[in-house]
Amino acid sequence: MALKEIALRMPNRPGQIARIARLLAEQKVNIASISLDSSGSRSNVRLITDRPDRALRILEDAGFTVDLHETIVVHLEDRAGSFLKVLEILAASRVNVESIAILVAREGSRILAAIATDDVRRARRVLEEAGFVSEKAERLITNADLVARSPAIPSESVGLLL
């Protein structure tokens, strides 16, 4: 099962990202990865949560326009230039990268990254052919696996790993 990423746009003003975190925390949805970039009056947010379908409904009910994207989990050697190979393969195949989340999870000595593209099928094919897709990680890692599980962390907290 592939990881799912949520993308949304919101006004660029104080308190908006806190509002999103509060909405999700109140419904016991944990955030494993979050990115935010702003330009002018708008901000773009990307989230990987433990329950993406639930998070999608919560955010839509709150009035946000939200998209859900499948990502591809790839494994990389933990050394300079290893991610460049993945990016070059996608570029040569004319696949546009829309987002990247470096995941805290590891597969042996390799780090894992989730990539959202404009053409998941083609990206998966070319990255599989090049030996980068981690089928094991995609079978074993779900959105829920990326959130810290610790008795010291209340389940209703927003558990950021990145």
pLDDT at 161: 32
Output 114 or 26, whichever has higher pLDDT. Answer: 26
**Cα–Cα distance between 151 and 43 in angstroms, integer?**
34
Is pLDDT of 63 > 90?
Answer: yes
Task: Rank 32-41, 46-55, 142-151 by mean pLDDT and report only the highest.
Answer: 46-55
CATH number of 4-69: 3.30.2130.10
What local confidence, expressed as pLDDT, does residue 96 receive?
93
Report the alpha-carbon distance of residue 162 to residue 148 in Å, rounded: 11
H/E stretch holding 8: strand 4-11
Tokens found for residue 41: 């009056």
Mean pLDDT of the chain: 79
Which segments of 52-134 does DSSP mark as H helices, in order?
52-61, 82-92, 120-129
| Domain boundaries along the sequence of the chain | 4-69, 71-142
**pLDDT exceeds cutoff 90 at 39:** no
> Is the per-residue pLDDT at 148 higher than 50?
no
Query: Which pLDDT belongs to residue 71?
Result: 87
Q: Residue 6: its pLDDT value, please?
A: 94
Would you identify the CATH topology of the domain 71-142? Answer: Alpha-Beta Plaits (3.30.70)
Strand duo 72-77 + 31-39: pairing: unpaired
Q: What is the pLDDT of residue 162?
A: 27
**Residue 5 or 139, more confident:** 5
